[in-house]
Amino acid sequence: MSTTDLDWFKSSYSSAQGDSCVEVAMTAQSVRVRDSKDVTRPCLTIGREGWAAFVGSVR
């Protein structure tokens, strides 16, 4: 799946200026994370279980 086909979103905690933000997109198998300032760079792909563990640890 191309990254342009994904539904990217930012955290509701992102600043209005759009600086220092990451965007996240979910697929059936993984979670993709990218820099919102340069969406042409490769994204980080994380397994859904790994993402759940990460989110659970930062709450």
- pLDDT at site 18: 60
| pLDDT tens, position by position, 1-54 | 566 789 999 877 776 666 668 899 999 999 999 988 888 899 999 999 999 999
Residue with the larger pLDDT of the pair 59 and 20: 59
pTM (2 decimals)?
0.77
The separation between the first and the last C-alpha atoms of the chain, rounded to the nearest angstrom, is 30
Output the pLDDT for position 2: 66
Task: Report how far residue 16's alpha carbon sits from residue 4's, in angstroms, rounded to the nearest whole number.
Answer: 23
